[in-house]
Structure 1
């Protein structure tokens, strides 16, 4: 999908309007929120935006963002999208962040999408979840319900939607493997890029994201001049079904869980 969008927009001429945005404010700092899904990136990035000094890191490699941009403006191209994102989501000081999973990051990098905004990164903040089984269960439930965040509109309580689903160990294992592979590839990228990096655990972020925000700002050398009150705009979606499925998967796949508890990040999950 991302490749098709890139091909569609790349053949168009650039708009002089967006070109003026591109030249209006050079970036001073670039950082990546490197995630694997259901690892707290949405919660963390919302809190980063509350502080303002670090910009508003969002999923700009997500196909839906590019599609919505194309729908809003007449015949834009990829350079226009890059100019628009850089001008509107960087901080006044020129600090820009972008969050992405590995799969989209790899495709976007090969296609050259938004490269002036992310390369070279001044920081790669790598998010992971200590409990990879709970993470995979959360992904499986989100895919099945298409409810990804607490702000998503639903006519039924999320706990009821989860309770109506059928447990599938194979789907959970598939999501485990996808996330474990992304973790391995992110760690390889961080090592090879030589960029400053920071590892942030979901379990810590979900309790209090502010220390993570402060750590990102410190590495980037950006002072945080605001002390925004805690926001309840984004909340956790844990349900009894998620807990039951995680426990059942550990019982159904003990060898799988034990192996990846030992070799996580060291080998690819074939």
Structure 2
């Protein structure tokens, strides 16, 4: 499914396959074996509000959608369930990381294609009634700035009640001056990566005639209850009778300089950024 020579998921699990099987594996039967009645995939591009949505779904008992196939967390999650092969990890994840017979996970396009080297995505996740939710952020400049800030400080997420993450790296108030070209370059790198991810997953959808549910971070921010209600209905097929959905007190990590950084980028690269939006 991917021509990438570097595939950390393949590297992590190795080449072991069950007897009389070949890669990629069709694990569609694992859902029924684990008693899963509803399943979903949240397709992300990072810094798009998916962690916020995931905690809302978890708190509402609609699965526990985390990044189980992120190469940086594979060792943690495989250790929790005691698995060393992809088929064992997938089967045990359905049991251990589900809630109310519902299982979901988050993944970005690159990792989905990496996963496709081990797991038959079409037979396991596309043709089996799994719901797909595509979450993006309309303001790609702020999304890229959020990536850059997190990369510089190491503070990626903040959930209320889980303690504050201190940003020990001092950030400049403005990045307009020449001395901050490295920060601007990193923002551009993140913009290009986001665009590439969006295009690759859109091609994936088009090739399969898929119509995923599409969400924007800005809509979740503006109309949290109604958007969340739509998501729950999409996953479960109907709104639960106890529609008193719990909306956790999550918050975004926002720096005072974020608005200024965006203005600096727009002042430095007005036509280039407009081109990104027009061709996105």
Q: Supply the distance in 2 between the matched residues of 1:86 and 1:114 (Cα, whole angstroms).
A: 16
**Partner residue of 1:25?**
34
1:38 aligns with 2:66: no
1:181 to 1:106, Cα distance in 2 relative to 1, 3 A: same
Q: Supply the distance in 2 between the matched residues of 1:123 and 1:74 (Cα, whole angstroms).
A: 27
Q: Deviations over 1:221-259 (max 9, x none)?
A: 143344244322x31111112222111111111122111
Q: Supply the distance in 2 between the matched residues of 1:179 and 1:238 (Cα, whole angstroms).
A: 20
- Per-residue deviation, 1:134: 0.4
Counterpart secondary structure, 2:63: coil
Q: Supply the distance in 2 between the matched residues of 1:147 and 1:113 (Cα, whole angstroms).
A: 34
**Partner residue of 2:77?**
69
Q: How does 1:52-131 map to 2 (within 5 A)?
A: 52=61, 54-72=62-80, 76-92=84-100, 94-112=101-119, 118-120=125-127, 122-131=130-139
1:207 aligns with 2:216: no
Q: Supply the distance in 2 between the matched residues of 1:172 and 1:113 (Cα, whole angstroms).
A: 34
Structure 2 residues without counterparts, runs of 5 or longer:
1-7, 20-29
Q: Supply the distance in 1 between the matched residues of 2:76 and 2:245 (Cα, whole angstroms).
A: 30
- Is the CA contact (8 Å cut-off) linking 1:36 and 1:182 kept in structure 2? yes
Structure 1 residues without counterparts, runs of 5 or longer:
14-20, 265-270
Q: CA RMSD in A?
A: 2.9
1:170 aligns with 2:189: no
- Per-residue deviation, 1:23: 6.7
TM-score, normalised to structure 2's length? Answer: 0.78
Q: Supply the distance in 2 between the matched residues of 1:138 and 1:49 (Cα, whole angstroms).
A: 24
Q: Deviations over 1:159-197 (max 9, x none)?
A: x64526974111100100000111112222222223342
1:222 to 1:140, Cα distance in 2 relative to 1, 3 A: same
1:244 to 1:56, Cα distance in 2 relative to 1, 3 A: same
- Per-residue deviation, 1:155: 6.5
1:207 to 1:147, Cα distance in 2 relative to 1, 3 A: same
Q: Supply the distance in 1 between the matched residues of 2:80 and 2:215 (Cα, whole angstroms).
A: 35
- Between structures 1 and 2, the one with greater helix share: 1
Q: Supply the distance in 2 between the matched residues of 1:23 and 1:82 (Cα, whole angstroms).
A: 13
- Is the CA contact (8 Å cut-off) linking 1:49 and 1:55 kept in structure 2? yes
- Per-residue deviation, 1:137: 0.4
1:222 to 1:236, Cα distance in 2 relative to 1, 3 A: same
> Number of paired residues?
251
- Per-residue deviation, 1:75: 6.2
1:250 aligns with 2:250: no
- Is the CA contact (8 Å cut-off) linking 1:22 and 1:87 kept in structure 2? no
- Per-residue deviation, 1:61: 1.1
1:209 to 1:146, Cα distance in 2 relative to 1, 3 A: same
**Partner residue of 2:247?**
230
Counterpart secondary structure, 2:111: helix
**Partner residue of 1:216?**
231
- Is the CA contact (8 Å cut-off) linking 1:82 and 1:114 kept in structure 2? no
